[in-house]
Amino acid sequence: MNEILEKKQLNPTVKLMVINSPLMAKKAKPGQFVIVRVDESGERIPLTIADYDADKGTVTIIFQEVGMSTKALGKLNVGDRLHDFVGPLGVPVEFSPDVKRVLAIGGGVGVAPLYPKVKMLHKNGVKIDSIIGGRSSEYVILEDEMRAVSDNLYITTDDGSKGHKGFVTDVLKELLANGNKYDEVIAIGPLVMMKMVCQITKEYNIPTMVSMNPIMVDGTGMCGGCRVSVGGEVKFACVDGPAFDGHKVDFDEAMRRQAMYKDMEKKALDEYEHRCKLGGILNG
């Protein structure tokens, strides 16, 4: 259980791991997530379920190395075990059968949680246009996978090294301005990107689903650390979400809450890297 069966580097900071977890693989659905603890004293971090295979008994996670815990996770190799692997958590996403044409937008590592939803829609015969973006060409992930489940795939990079130069929202504006009609937009990525997407789709009155990524501890509804304001109501993203109606989400509050421990996160990372360096000297 919890053994890493496969490890792939998707871009300079994003890694994919296939984890042996037969029970979870049977229950996982698009939109759900896991909580991971790398080692015995580690913190609990939420990660998206990017794919799952009930027959093989595997669950795939994709994560960006941004801080101490994700860096420690990235150091593990095939054959290693995750100390704790909890899930599937959160509410699976559901789509009305009236949804026939969807625009899927993924920014950075947000393409990972986007993929299983698009894959499911595609399987159900929904027509999909996708926009995926990254800082530069090497940061665009899951291009082949997304292409396989999309009717049209648009790629954007901030520096123009691949696809359209600019942001995913530029392509979104263009598609809408050109008269493309969508029953629903799904947007997953940095909070600021999802906020911008929602501002645009609101003008066109297109229902827009976003997936929130707040700070979590337990992931089972017992602490409320992950609370987000949706339509003026307090929701716990871990049990009520993480997917919500983007037009109702208070993104400014979410951005503020996400930054709450920035200073301490940096300290933990510095300490960790310092220790790794010392370990390196001692071992070398």
**What secondary structure does DSSP assign to 178-203, as a single string?**
TT---SEEEEESSHHHHHHHHHHHHH
15: contact with another protein by CB under 8 A:
no
In angstroms, give the least distance from the CB of 70 to another protein. Answer: 11
Tell me which DSSP letter residue 249 carries: B
- Phi and psi of 34, rounded to 5°? -125, 160
8 A C-beta contact, residue 231 and residue 248: yes
Angle among Cα 194, 199, 204 to the nearest 5 degrees reads: 120
| Closer residue to another protein (CB): 148 or 223 | 223
Instruction: Please identify, using beta-carbon distances, which residue of 117 and 235 lies nearer to another protein.
Output: 235
Contacting another protein within 65-104 (CB under 8 A): 68-69, 83-89
195 contacts another protein (rule: CB under 8 A): no
Residue entry with tokens 């493309």? 180
**Counting contacts by CB under 8 A, is residue 225 touching another protein?**
yes
Task: Read off the amino acid at residue 135.
Answer: R
Least spacing, CB of residue 37 vs another protein, in Å: 6
What is the spatial distance between Cα 159 and Cα 225, in angstroms, rounded to a whole number?
36
Residue type, 157: T
Query: Considering CB under 8 A, how many residues would be counted as binding another protein?
Result: 41
**How far apart are the two ends of the chain, measured CA to CA in Å?**
32
Is there a contact between 100 and 48 (Cβ–Cβ < 8 Å)? no
Q: Which of 138, 174, 183, 265 binds another protein (CB under 8 A)?
A: 265
Nearest approach, Cβ of residue 153 and another protein (Å)? 33
Residue 231 touches another protein, criterion: CB under 8 A: no
Q: How far is the CB of 88 from another protein (least distance, A)?
A: 6
Spatial distance between the Cα atoms of 142 and 131, rounded to a whole number of angstroms: 12
Q: 113 in helix, strand or coil?
A: helix
Q: Is 145 in the site for another protein (CB under 8 A)?
A: no
CA-based Rg of the chain, rounded to a whole angstrom? 19
Residue 91 Cβ, how far from another protein at the closest point, in Å? 10
Q: Is 11 in the site for another protein (CB under 8 A)?
A: no
Out of 147, 217, 247, 248, name the contact with another protein by CB under 8 A.
Answer: 217
Nearer to another protein, 27 or 164 (CB): 27
Verify binding: residue 192, another protein, rule CB under 8 A: no
Read off the amino acid at residue 98: D
**Binding segment toward another protein, per CB under 8 A, in 107-115, 177-185, 202-210, 266-274:** 266-274
Residues found near another protein in the complex (CB under 8 A): 23-24, 27, 37, 41-44, 68-69, 83-89, 217-218, 220-225, 227, 229, 234, 239, 253, 256-257, 259-261, 264-265, 267-268, 271-272
